[in-house]
């Protein structure tokens, strides 16, 4: 075991980032990233967009999660908002958190469960082996050369 030592060599190839409702295909494009830091940044941005919807649904009178004390128990939307904030901060502040989970679990997933509506799973997968070279990835090619 490596303990807390980050072993970059343990993760090769490149990365795909996406989100979908469990059991459904992604509704938005999968993002192709050449390294884990880039993948993590993109994932944090994606989670942040869903987090904004939690803020918009806040049931507090004239309130938003941002206008209240951090971690306030205002409503279920705020609870999910702050739970997401912890995840986003973790990805942004300690970039290697994501890498640790990769080495341990072979991937990264975050399950977002809004008070009402469909849950969403956010994920990063590692594309390795024969498809590991990003230059040969169809998603990357479409991304870099939009039609
Ligand atoms: Zn790719
Ligand atoms: Zn609220």
pLDDT averaged over the chain?
84
Q: What are phi and psi of 102, to 5 degrees?
A: -60, -50
Ligand having the closest approach to the CA of 62? 2
Q: How would residue 123 be classed by pLDDT, with cut points 50, 70 and 90?
A: very high
Residues with CB under 5 A from ligand 2 (ion): 58, 60, 74-75, 78
The reported pTM is: 0.84
Q: Region 13-36: what's the mean pLDDT?
A: 91
CA 126 to chain centre: 14
Tell me how far the alpha carbon of residue 70 lies from the centroid of ligand 2, in angstroms.
Answer: 11
Residues linked to residue 112 through DSSP beta bridges, in sequence order: 120
Domain map of the chain by residue range? 14-144
28: Cβ–Cβ under 8 A, 6 or more apart, which residues? 18, 19
Tell me how far the alpha carbon of residue 109 lies from the centroid of ligand 2, in angstroms.
Answer: 26
């Amino acid at each position: 075991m490596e303990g807390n030592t980050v072993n970059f060599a343990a993760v090769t190839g490149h990365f795909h980032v996406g989100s979908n409702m469990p059991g459904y295909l992604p509704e938005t494009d999968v993002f192709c990233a050449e390294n884990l830091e880039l993948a993590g940044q993109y994932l944090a941005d994606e989670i942040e967009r869903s987090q904004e919807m939690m803020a918009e649904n806040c049931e507090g009178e004239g309130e938003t999660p941002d206008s209240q004390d951090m971690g306030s128990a205002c409503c279920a939307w705020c609870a999910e908002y702050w739970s997401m904030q912890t995840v986003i901060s973790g990805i942004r502040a300690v970039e290697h958190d994501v890498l640790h989970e990769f080495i341990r679990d072979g991937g990264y997933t975050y399950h977002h469960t809004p008070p009402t509506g469909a849950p969403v799973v956010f994920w990063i997968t590692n594309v390795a082996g024969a498809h590991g070279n990003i230059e040969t990835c169809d998603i990357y090619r479409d991304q870099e050369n939009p039609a």
